[in-house]
Amino acid sequence: MSTARAVPVTLSEQSRSSVANSAGVNAIPWTIWSCVAGISCALVGGTWDFAWHMSIGRDTFWIPPHLLAQLGAFLAGISCVYVILDTTLRRDLRTRAFSVQVLGLQGPAGVFIALWGSLSMIASAPFDNWQHNAYGLDVTFATPPHMMLFVGSFAIMVGTGLRIASLINSSLPQALKRRLVWLFLYVGTTGVPPLTVIIAHERWLPNMHSASCYLAIALAIPWWMIAWGRGSTHRWGCTIVGAIYTAGSLAAEWLLPLFPAEPKLGPVYHKVTHLIPLSFPLLLIVPAFVTDLLLQRLKQRSWIKAVWIGPAFVLSFLAAQWPFANFLMSPASRNWIFGTAYFAYKDPAGILYDPYQFQVAEKSLSAFLLTMAFALVAAFVTSWFGLAWGEGIRRARR
């Protein structure tokens, strides 16, 4: 049985909004900034960690990327603990009107979610160290402690976003609401790179002419981008998420190779002298733009919108990424701008396989079309979920 419940108050929804405005919320609280800083540290630390693994290898737990990610968890956790204790001990009706109660403690629902996420991230650290000591330094990515870290980081994003949304939905000054909307969209964007990492094998460049690539995109991306874009109330929310993702990914790809690095583990198939970045960002800004256009024109219920938006998301991404993959395979892309000449030290590219040749997973045209049909259905389901979640965010008050 759940131990969380809404705090009983006698204020109506309209009264709660008035109370929030009268409480003097004229600036973004420092605790939200602390959570956003923690999310940013985790994102930078995670991106840096992947580059470290591809360039140096996991030689020890005490490497800067791990410490930066854990610093992010501590920043979020400390601010969440402060909000919960402040709400519980002050017994202020103005703050309790927007609170829930968990194990006798009171605070906004998003704060409890973010606190759980920070504790999960912190707990994953010793678990991860034990896992590597027991089974090897750099065995595989999909391990229980890594998944625990990922889930924790997403919980911090969701909790922080929910808290920001509750402020957006209250009667605050419009200028402050606009800043909160942009902050909300930034928090949502930080979840896109980890999602693309989860499907790294399927979205690998040689697989971009396989239907399985687009099925993986349909399962992993639309629900998240649409939820945050729709929940932000900004008419170009999804496009902004796609644009920030693209800009951040390009910054990482262009900046990381400026730092020297060399492998400390074997086998070494490529001579590496600098940090190896992740691949060029996916062209997600195209389906994001198409999604916003459809959201501005469709007035039907969520499931009817999803019938149009889901397939449109996959097909527009296919129309953009398929020909762009041809360019990425060409010699013209093997430079610092597009980064297709970068290979991890342990990647046997050019030895065991041709890195500039498409590998088609489907053995026949019928298999390709069937997989693409599954991708369209999956996109409908994930888009519907994203729309429903986004509508829920628009109604968030606690």
Whether pLDDT at 12 is above 60: no
CB 296 within 8 A of CB 309: no
> Given this model, what pLDDT does residue 18 score?
43
The answer to whether 176 and 311 have CB atoms below 8 angstroms apart is no
Confidence check: pLDDT of 10 > 90: no
Q: Is the pLDDT of residue 128 over 80?
A: no
Query: In the structure, what pLDDT confidence band is assigned to residue 8 with cuts at 50, 70 and 90?
Result: very low
Domain boundary among 167, 190, 213: 190
Position 306 scores a pLDDT of 93
CB 292 within 8 A of CB 238: yes
φ, ψ of residue 329 in degrees (nearest 5): -80, -15
Give residues with Cβ within 8 angstroms of 112, minimum separation 6: 4, 80, 84, 100, 102, 159
pLDDT at 135 over 80: no
Q: What is the arithmetic mean of pLDDT over 102-106?
A: 82
Pair (83, 133) in one structural domain: yes
pTM, full prediction: 0.89
Residues 175 and 278 in one domain: no
Question: Among residues 190, 222, 251, which one ends one of the domains?
Answer: 190
Residues 219 and 94 placed together within one structural domain of the fold: no
pLDDT of 322 strictly over 90: yes
The residue ranking higher by pLDDT, 247 or 133, is 247
Q: Is residue 12 assigned to a domain?
A: no
195 CB burial (10 A radius; 0-12, 13-18, 19+): buried
Q: What percent of the chain has pLDDT over 70?
A: 88
Question: What DSSP character marks residue 333?
Answer: G
Same domain, 164 and 210: no
pLDDT at residue 262, rounded to an integer: 92
pLDDT at 32 over 70: yes
Three-class SS of residue 100? strand
pLDDT band at 62 (very low <50, low <70, confident <90, very high): confident
* pLDDT score recorded for residue 141: 63
The answer to whether position 69 is within a domain reads yes
Dihedral over Cα of 220, 384, 248, 30: its sign: negative
Give the mean pLDDT of 299-312: 90
The residue with greater pLDDT, 283 or 137, is 283
Please indicate, yes or no, if residue 369 is contained in any of the structural domains: yes
Helices (H), the chain: 13-22, 30-55, 64-90, 93-96, 109-135, 144-168, 174-189, 192-198, 211-220, 222-231, 237-255, 285-297, 302-329, 365-394
Burial of 299 (0-12, 13-18, 19+ CB in 10 A): exposed
Residue 186 structural domain: 24-190
Please say if the pLDDT value at position 351 is more than 90. no
242 in the same domain as 110: no
Same domain? For 181 and 205 the reply is no
What pLDDT, on a 0 to 100 scale, did the predictor assign at position 103? 82
Do 154 and 254 have their domain in common? no
On whether residue 220 sits in a domain, the answer given is yes
Mean pLDDT of 244-252: 96
What's the confidence (pLDDT) of residue 87? Answer: 84
- Residue 5 in any domain: the answer is no
pLDDT of residue 353: 86
Pick from 38, 20, 40, 29: which is nearest to 164 by CA?
A: 29
- Asked if residues 233 and 222 have their Cβ atoms less than 8 Å apart, the reply is no
Same domain for 87 and 226, yes or no, is: no
Summarize the confidence of residues 59-85 as an average pLDDT: 89
CB-neighbour burial class of residue 61 (10 A; exposed 0-12, middle 13-18, buried 19+): middle
Average pLDDT over residues 131-157: 76
Which of these three, 143, 171, 190, is where a domain ends?
A: 190
Strands across the sheet containing 100-102: 4-6, 100-102, 105-107
* Strands 4-6, 105-107: pairing kind: unpaired
Q: Is 131 in the same domain as 251? A: no
Please name the residues in contact with 113: beta carbons below 8 A apart, sequence gap of 6 or more. Answer: 155, 158, 159, 162
pLDDT over 90 for what percent of the chain?
Answer: 61
* Angstrom distance (rounded) from CA 108 to CA 114: 10
pLDDT at 216 over 90: yes
At 369-388, the pLDDT tens digits run 999 999 999 999 999 999 99
- The count of domains in the chain is 2
Q: What is the mean pLDDT of residues 354-371?
A: 91
Residues 165 and 294 in one domain: no
Range with lowest mean pLDDT among 2-11, 70-79, 110-119, 265-274 = 2-11
Residue 2 inside a domain? The answer is no
